[in-house]
Amino acid sequence: MKVRQIAAAALMPVLFAGTAASAETVFAVSSWLPPTHTASTVQKDWCDKLAKESAGSMKCNMLPKGVVSAPGTFDAVRDGLADISFTVDGYTPGRFINTQVAEFPFLGDSATATSVAYQRIYDKYFAPLGEHRGVKVLAVFTHGPGIIFNSKMAVKSAADASSLKFRIGGGNINELSKAMGWNTTLKPAPESFELLSTGVMDGTFFPDESVASFKLSMIKHATTFPGGLYNTSFVFMMNQDKYKALSAADKAVVDKLSGEPAARMFGEGWDKVDTASRDGAQKAQGVERIMADKAFVKAVADKQDALEAKWATAAQAKGLKDPKSVLAEFRAEIAKVK
């Protein structure tokens, strides 16, 4: 009897260890961007916080490459091919309407401000409408102000832009480019180097960081706009079933780190690398930077007015009440973010 008791006692630590090990949740985390890109590194930083805040009960397995190409990422997370990732709403045209509000021109010069303000507006107005149904939304965010980059000439007017071929990332900038009569092609960001290096495209619309992140050494000219020519709406997300299977304590940790804290992480990360690219890669390769003049800004604004009216009609049909007031509130919220 005593031998059996001793044997049982000896097994207890093993059994408890097995229980603890089985309680650990490991998330498969995917990124279609290079592992050194700011969105990838911030995603990893968020995962590190998740592990720390949960005392190791939740961890992330950073996959060596994306499970699918960028446009398929939303569905991949929804269907469980990956547990956590992010994507660009505009990579699947026509699918997400309300989120286009974060893509309009002249919103602001800081990814932090636009991301945090966007998260606040999203929580208040967009989340209840369920446009991202099928996944657990961890945060929404934007990159820094969009710029016209090219390897050929200084783009000083809408007519100058019309003479070149550009890669763009979709969303409102796709519609704006059509309205302006520009020759643009919708392609994911990672394809930019090949498109520009082979001469298929003359330039690309990007935030500052992308010149360094995608090693676009052929870029020689940049045209900036006050508040940016455009922004890009991103969604950071988790597989819904994976979230539902978590314990109440682990769900609380995920929720604590989601929303505005995560949006600020992505925004601050982007602002940092925007500055580094301007001061580093672009300066080293002699990129000529000019600011669009009043006539160029007005030409864009005139076309954008019609697009915002079109968006308001589409958003209202999707259930958003008084879209124009929501847009005005978003712009006011950006100015408040510290």
Label residue 170 by pLDDT band (50, 70, 90).
confident
With pLDDT > 90 as the criterion, what percentage of the chain qualifies?
A: 91
Label residue 93 by pLDDT band (50, 70, 90).
confident
Label residue 18 by pLDDT band (50, 70, 90).
very low
Confidence at residue 2, expressed as pLDDT on a 0 to 100 scale: 44
Of 9-23, 166-180, 261-275, the poorest mean pLDDT is in 9-23
CB atoms within 10 A of CB 161: 27
With pLDDT > 70 as the criterion, what percentage of the chain qualifies?
A: 93
Label residue 14 by pLDDT band (50, 70, 90).
very low
Q: Is the pLDDT of residue 122 over 70?
A: yes
C-alpha to C-alpha distance for 98 and 100, rounded to whole angstroms: 5
Give, rounded to a whole angstrom, the gap between the first and last alpha carbons of the chain.
69
Give the alpha-carbon dihedral of 68, 118, 107, 158, to 10 degrees. Answer: 30
Segment 154-159 mean pLDDT? 97
Q: Is the pLDDT of residue 98 over 80?
A: yes
Segment 186-197 mean pLDDT? 95
Q: What secondary structure does DSSP assign to 253-270, as a single string?
A: HHHHHSSHHHHHHHHHHH
Confidence at residue 188, expressed as pLDDT on a 0 to 100 scale: 93
Segment 158-185 mean pLDDT? 95
Cβ-based burial of 92 (10 A; exposed 0-12, middle 13-18, buried ≥19): middle
C-alpha to C-alpha distance for 190 and 167, rounded to whole angstroms: 11
Q: Is the pLDDT of residue 21 over 60?
A: no
Segment 165-173 mean pLDDT? 93
Q: Is the pLDDT of residue 15 over 60?
A: no
Q: Is the pLDDT of residue 23 over 70?
A: no
How are beta strands 203-206 and 165-168 bridged, if at all?
A: parallel
C-alpha to C-alpha distance for 222 and 208, rounded to whole angstroms: 9
C-alpha to C-alpha distance for 140 and 83, rounded to whole angstroms: 17
Find out whether 258 and 141 touch, Cβ atoms under 8 Å. Answer: no
Residue appearing with tokens 């009216």: 309
C-alpha to C-alpha distance for 185 and 201, rounded to whole angstroms: 9
Instruction: Give me the chain's average pLDDT, please.
Output: 93
Q: What is the pLDDT of residues 207-232, one digit of tens each?
A: 999 999 999 999 999 999 999 999 99
Of 21-25, 155-159, 188-192, 253-257, the poorest mean pLDDT is in 21-25
- Rounded to two decimals, the pTM is 0.90
C-alpha to C-alpha distance for 209 and 214, rounded to whole angstroms: 9
Confidence at residue 338, expressed as pLDDT on a 0 to 100 scale: 86
- The dihedral through the CA atoms of 315, 317, 319, 324 has a sign that is positive
Confidence at residue 313, expressed as pLDDT on a 0 to 100 scale: 97
Contacts of 171 (CB under 8 A, 6+ apart): 88, 89, 90, 93, 100, 103, 230, 232, 233
